[in-house]
Structure 1
Amino acid sequence: MTHIEITRLGHHGDGIAAGPIFAAKTLPGEIVEGEITGDRILSPSVVTPSPDRVKPPCAHFKACGGCALQHASDDFVVNWKSDVVHTALSHQGIDVPISSVFTSPSQSRRRATFAGRRTKKGVLVGLHGRASGTLVPVPDCVLMTQKIMDGMPAFESLVQIGGSRRVEMAITVTDSDAGLDVSVVDGKELDMELRSDLAGVVREHGIIRLSWNGDEVVQETRPFLSFGRARLVPPPGAFLQATRHGEQSLISLMKEAVSGAERVVDLFAGCGTFALPMAEFAEVHAVEGEHEMLKSLSEAWKTAPGLKPVTVATRDLFRQPLLPEELNKFDAAIIDPPRAGALAQTGELAKSNLRSIGFVSCNPVTFGRDAKTLVEAGFAIDWLHVVDQFRWSPHVEIAAKFSRT
């Protein structure tokens, strides 16, 4: 057995020793032992534990790959995620304090994708083990909402009648304000018999909408999410913020970022997470590449009382970003790009006359790159917060306000 000392954590939450040698579920300062295979200790044993080590709150932590940091204290995780952001910004020559860290509580994840397949003995529904194809049942997951956990018998029934032993089904579940909204991919081909069987599962287990391989099979009632005064019915399987707590934190921060603006442009608007709440005090133009998301946004706006005008435009902002002459029609912008960041669109924002920008990012590295573009164009970072709605994972989200100096 080889003894090594863990010196730091990598971006995936693995402990790293000199070499580098990687060891999952370890912490800086710990002495661990195990057989080294390539650049990794596959089953490290902790000889000298860190004072930041705690007992994982979930019984599935050792086998499930859904969480990476349950063995670390909350204070350690907060400081580590703050350091990840600091490091990404310092590589771009930016030094800004982190105002606060908003951490979502346990049992708050309202959206999840489970894998399911039939077996010789029945069915298996769960999450994959870390870096493996092993499927781990997670009946007592401390991350998901209780409504999602209570839906496990329904998901198993869907696999039983519509799954196979050769292909895993992906079951995306959203805990909407009205109940469970389920979208299945890679299920058996729909026919009349399967449609009838699926409708029976929906009625028996109280699923409010079921989509199967892209087709809506049953809708008992409209699955909606509340955004301020608006009620949004998202497309099946659409991207949403992971927790209500994280969503409300981001909405509050973006309201602060564009406070006083009368016209706001919302870039990478999605279903309207920010556009609809901002319409309570400003006219909003929402731009997004997915037409179905904007369709849902528009329908929610039309039925909401007392909102200011909201217009939408379907546009690929990677290939066709809004140009300065278009951006200059607005007082402020909100931008929430995917992990790749928004290199092209940020470049146009930098050339515009906008006075303030609210920026949400799920990737500190691309955020640092895009922030540098804005800073070099004369913007300053007024404040920056970390929003940790992916608790116990290495995922980090950022909310920041940029203003013209």
Structure 2
Amino acid sequence: MTETLRIEALGAQGDGVAKTVAGPVYIPFALPGETVKAQVSGQRGTLVEVEEASEQRAEPPCRHFGACGGCAVQHLDLQAYAEWKRGKVDRALQSRGLEAEVAPLVTCPPASRRRLAFTARAMGQRVLLGFNAMQSHRIVDVEECPVSDPHVVAALPDLRRLAGLLAATPKSFRLMVTATRPGLDIAAEGAGRLHEKRRQQAVAFALAKGYARLSLDGEVLVEREKPTVLHGEVPVNLPPGGFLQAVAAAEEAMVGLVAAHLNGARHVADLFAGSGTFALWLAGGMRVHAVEGDAAALAALEAARTTPGLKPVTTERRDLFHRPLTAKELNTFDGIVFDPPRAGAEDQCRRIARSTVRRVAAVSCNPGTLARDLAILIEGGYRLTRVVPIDQFLWSPHVEVVALLEGPGKRG
């Protein structure tokens, strides 16, 4: 039924939250301070009309906003948006009883995201390429994307044609597109098994459009030139579909915070090192031991570590979730940076908490698991000195965080 509601807060996913006698109701695209009409079912509401608009309401820059589920809060002005993301980090820390001043959000500009995961699907003669609608598997076919690198946006019509050549299944599949120095790196997953003729057509199309590489389920179909990105001044050849920080400026901000914290260290460990986001930057001034479980990412790092001018970078392939470094192993380092997946680094932090490492930099894309991990370190004697939220998923609920800690050193 339709109800008139007063929006009291902005929820963690960007929904407006109204308090009712039956409990909170979450209404996408509504803002705090607004009076709205909404179609309510249980705890969810669909916005029908804004009767009294918030001063924080802004004009969304994208024609697809509201249908496309890629962005949640384009309708929120940037100052309020930055405070909302900062508040997410603050609340995560408070939920674990941690007191720390959270710095203002390090923002990222539009048109800066270099890595995007599109969803594609062939439907007869029509090919959809875009993002899923909010809380749905329905694909919103996009013609623009204001968060994306302009090279990716300009290529959308051709990427849609390529998706049609790759589609050997009626089901939806993923097309990961990364803007690299020599051109777009395109990795398709779940598109089905290509017949030879379609494979040749896809390869010819990729070459004609100047793409750096085209791969399908990890198999390289064609590579015109190695898809390279820079970690600092070090060129790295990415593996197909490999992880990369989504925005180069955000990566630089994170590395800058970590490098300043570890400045003066002689030998540091980079845990969950990936293809060397932190290791290769840090190796400009200190020895680094990089630990990573993914073989392809580690191979990319190992190939790049021979770049002239770097301090020695040693590597170790190791699943840190099942076999974290022990306190004894960690004690050989005077600094640590770790950047785990969303699940965090709980077991590894328990070992760090028992070590003598003086400086630790924790990087996370999940404030909740980061707060849990920080609580473990603080209980072990570490002191939280700085917390900085960093935006690289513009207008989405996601936020990166860099937390810096100092340890007690020698333990009795």
For the criterion TM > 0.5, the same-fold answer is yes
Q: Distance in 1 between matches of 2:163 and 2:368?
A: 39
Identity over aligned pairs, percent: 38
Report 1:4-403 matches (<5 A).
4-18=5-19, 19-164=23-168, 166-302=170-306, 304-403=307-406
CA pair 307-165 structure 1, distance change in 2 beyond 3 A:
closer
Q: Distance in 1 between matches of 2:235 and 2:389?
A: 27
Give the superposition deviation at 1:220.
Answer: 0.4
Does structure 2 retain, via aligned residues, the 8 Å contact 1:264–1:283? yes
Q: Distance in 2 between matches of 1:196 and 1:391?
A: 37
Give the superposition deviation at 1:30.
Answer: 1.1
Q: Distance in 2 between matches of 1:161 and 1:377?
A: 55
Partner SS state of residue 126, structure 1: strand
Partner SS state of residue 215, structure 2: strand
Q: Distance in 2 between matches of 1:340 and 1:372?
A: 15
Partner SS state of residue 330, structure 1: coil
Give the superposition deviation at 1:354.
Answer: 0.3
1:53-104 deviation per Cα after TM superposition (whole angstroms, max 9, x unaligned): 1111111102111000100011111111111111111121211112332111
Size of the alignment, in residue pairs? 404
1:191-241 deviation per Cα after TM superposition (whole angstroms, max 9, x unaligned): 431221111111221111000122100000111011123110111111110
Q: Distance in 2 between matches of 1:177 and 1:100?
A: 31
Does structure 2 retain, via aligned residues, the 8 Å contact 1:117–1:164? no
Q: Distance in 2 between matches of 1:402 and 1:308?
A: 24
Give the superposition deviation at 1:398.
Answer: 0.6
Q: Distance in 2 between matches of 1:89 and 1:273?
A: 26
Give the superposition deviation at 1:392.
Answer: 0.5
Q: Distance in 2 between matches of 1:254 and 1:210?
A: 34
Counterpart of 1:316 in structure 2: which amino acid? D
Q: Distance in 2 between matches of 1:229 and 1:3?
A: 56
Structure 1 window deviating more from structure 2 (171-180 vs 97-106): it is: 97-106
CA pair 116-381 structure 1, distance change in 2 beyond 3 A:
same
Partner SS state of residue 211, structure 2: coil
User: Which ranges in structure 2 are unaligned for 5 or more consecutive residues?
Assistant: none
Measured on the aligned residues, the alpha-carbon RMSD in Å equals 1.3
Q: Distance in 1 between matches of 2:280 and 2:205?
A: 34
Give the superposition deviation at 1:165.
Answer: 6.2
1:38-66 deviation per Cα after TM superposition (whole angstroms, max 9, x unaligned): 22112342111111111111111021110
Q: Distance in 1 between matches of 2:285 and 2:200?
A: 47
Partner SS state of residue 241, structure 2: coil
Q: Distance in 2 between matches of 1:162 and 1:322?
A: 42
Give the superposition deviation at 1:32.
Answer: 1.0
Structure 1 window deviating more from structure 2 (120-129 vs 213-222): it is: 120-129
Counterpart of 1:335 in structure 2: which amino acid? F
Q: Distance in 2 between matches of 1:125 and 1:156?
A: 6
Does structure 1 retain, via aligned residues, the 8 Å contact 2:29–2:47? no
Partner SS state of residue 321, structure 2: coil
Q: Distance in 1 between matches of 2:328 and 2:30?
A: 51
Structure 1 window deviating more from structure 2 (156-165 vs 270-279): it is: 156-165
Does structure 1 retain, via aligned residues, the 8 Å contact 2:83–2:105? no
Q: Distance in 1 between matches of 2:143 and 2:334?
A: 48
Q: Distance in 2 between matches of 1:205 and 1:229?
A: 28
Partner SS state of residue 226, structure 2: coil
Q: Distance in 1 between matches of 2:55 and 2:164?
A: 46
Report the equivalent of 1:3. Answer: 4
Q: Distance in 2 between matches of 1:29 and 1:76?
A: 13
Partner SS state of residue 275, structure 2: coil
Counterpart of 2:67 in structure 1: which amino acid? A
**When the two structures are superposed, what TM-score results if normalisation uses the length of structure 1?**
0.97
Does structure 2 retain, via aligned residues, the 8 Å contact 1:159–1:169? no
Give the superposition deviation at 1:396.
Answer: 1.4
Counterpart of 1:15 in structure 2: which amino acid? G
